[in-house]
Structure 1
Amino acid sequence: MINVLIVEDDPMVAEMNKFYLEQIQDFRAEGWAESAEQALSLLDSTHYDLLLLDIYMKGSSGLELLSEIRRKALPTDVIVISAARDKSSIRQALNNGAVDYLIKPFEFNRFRLAMDAYRKRAALFKRTGSMVQSELDAITHADANVGPSQPLPKGFTRQTLQAVWNAIEAASAEGFTSVDISAATGISRVSAGKYLTELEARGILEMELIYGTVGRPVQKYKITPHGKIQITKYLQ
């Protein structure tokens, strides 16, 4: 689980960020700070994997907090979520190691994209051993894998695709079948199979045939390493 500290002086915005975070697998809002000073106090006593950081706050700014985090070499990543859109603020945030920058107001899909990319980044750094170039490219050039909204095949709807994808994300990490997705969404097994087959064809899922002692082999699916990034093109 990725533990998150929300640093935001507006309670309504902080609550919205928390709500968004709760919709995404593997993330948990562990705390809220309404000032840079309060955030530093929490960081001194508690480890957080990720900060969702506003810039405009009472007292010290988010940029000052980010600089202090880097000065102290705290092992915490930062994603900036701010209305600040001037190049100076953005450059300073990125130069101080912010892994992403969301300009308010933003859409949920962009928020999800940031969290999915961060999840991938965190998983790679937690693994033992060195990285290969393709793994590094996946986190430094994640935007290269995402383009504008893509059309769906004939007979497919974004509403059903979203329901299928929600069921996929909630399914076992060991894999899932069309029967599992059908049961979770209420659509027919045949329809679930069509969606899974299409997602496999587009590189979002991978499929393995599981052979039993009798009968036909079972098609078991898993999300590919880039699947959570790629799916955003079809859910926009």
Structure 2
Amino acid sequence: MIQVLIIEDDPMVAKFNGMYVDKVSGFELAGTADRVEAGWEILKNKKVDLILLDVYLANKNGLDLLVDVRKSNHSVDVIVVSSANDQGSIQTALRYGAVDYLIKPFDFERFQEALMRYKFRYIHLQKEGIQQKELDELFHQRNGNKERTEENLPKGITKETYIRVLRELHGLEGWFSTAALAEVTGISRVSLRKYLRFLEDCNILLNDVSYEGSGRPLHRYKLSQEGHDYVLSILQKTR
């Protein structure tokens, strides 16, 4: 599980962001802090992979923590979550390696996109001997994945079926299950899972996991905003 620390001085915002973290598969809340100093204490005593960092904190600029984290070579990543939309804050965040920047207010879908992109990066960087193609996907994830889905489909995914799946996805509203997509496409669930995993890796689909009474995980999917734009562009080309 990817361990997340929230540094946010508004208790209500911290609570809701914590609830958001718990809803995204593969992430777990390691703790919350309302001050930079309290955040450092958690970093010293717990495993933390990712910080959700506010900029405007009481008597402190949250970006100072980002700068200090980089200077200390601490192996933790940061997503800035703030109402700060000034050029200086954004440039500082980028220069010191923030992996994303969410401007308040934002919806859960955008929050989930940020975490899923981070998970994609996190998983790939655990590998030994990463290849150039994988690095290209990490560094050019937004555009590179779109080109790959359109022009260079992986083994086991055919262009005809891929377009068919995209066409049915375009007609689905909100969250859907593999079973629901299988019903409208006429494709078996086993075959569909390959397409769903691929689309999730490309940030076209969001994935939400809940647990039934039996304890079995139930996967639900939904087009991301990026996915909506991508599907429309592909369908327009194939009319």
TM-score by length of 1: 0.71
| Distance change in 2, residues 1:155/1:18 (3 Å) | closer
1:91-129 Cα deviation digits (max 9, x unpaired): 101111111111111122211111111101111111122
Per the TM alignment, residue 60 of structure 1 is displaced from its structure 2 partner at its CA by 2.0
Opposite residue 223 of structure 2, the aligned amino acid is Y
Q: In the TM superposition, what is the alpha-carbon distance from 1:138 to its structure 2 partner?
A: 1.6
The DSSP-based 3-state class of the residue aligned with 1:223 is: helix
Corresponding residue SS for 1:84: coil
Match of 2:141 in 1: 142
Q: Give the distance between the partners of 2:140 and 2:48, measured in 1 at CA.
A: 25
Stretches (4+) displaced over 3 A: 151-156, 187-197, 225-228
Rate the CA distance shift 1:69–1:135 in 2: closer, same or farther, 3 A. Answer: same
1:193 CA displacement: 4.8
**Distance (Å, rounded) in 2 between the aligned partners of 1:54 and 1:195:** 45
User: How many pairs are equivalent?
Assistant: 191
Residue 234 of structure 1, aligned match among 212, 217, 223: 223
Structure 2 equivalent of residue 44 of structure 1: 44
C-alpha contact 2:81 2:102 (8 A) present in aligned 1: yes
Decide whether the 8 Å contact of 2:203 with 2:224 is kept in 1: no
Aligned to 2:93: 93
2:182–2:188 CA contact under 8 A, matched in 1:
no
Q: In structure 1, what is the Cα distance between the partners aligned to 2:146 and 2:19?
A: 24
For residues 155 and 96 of structure 1, the distance between their equivalents in structure 2, rounded to whole angstroms, comes to: 38
Counterparts in 2 of 1:63-82, with a 5 A limit?
A: 63-82=63-82
Farther-moved stretch of structure 1 (136-145 vs 100-109): 136-145
Within 5 Å, give how 1:93-132 maps onto structure 2.
93-129=93-129, 131-132=130-131
Q: Which runs of 5+ in 1 are unaligned?
A: 165-180, 208-221
CA deviation profile, 1:159-202 (whole Å, cap 9, x unmatched) = 3xx131xxxxxxxxxxxxxxxx44xxxx59634755969x95xx
Amino acid at match of 1:234: L
| Structure 2, unpaired ranges of 5+ | 148-165, 207-221, 226-239
- Structure 1 residues 33 and 206: alpha-carbon distance in aligned structure 2, compared to 1, 3 A threshold: same
> What displacement does 1:69 show?
0.8
CA distance in 1, matches of 2:169, 2:101: 36
Per the TM alignment, residue 58 of structure 1 is displaced from its structure 2 partner at its CA by 0.5
Give secondary structure in 2 for the equivalent of 1:102: strand
Cα deviation digits, residues 71-96 of structure 1 (max 9, x gap): 11111110100111011110101111
Separation of aligned partners in 2, 1:154 and 1:74: 41
> How does the TM-score come out when normalised to structure 2?
0.70
- RMSD value, Cα: 2.9
CA distance in structure 2 between the aligned counterparts of 1:33 and 1:146, rounded to whole angstroms: 37
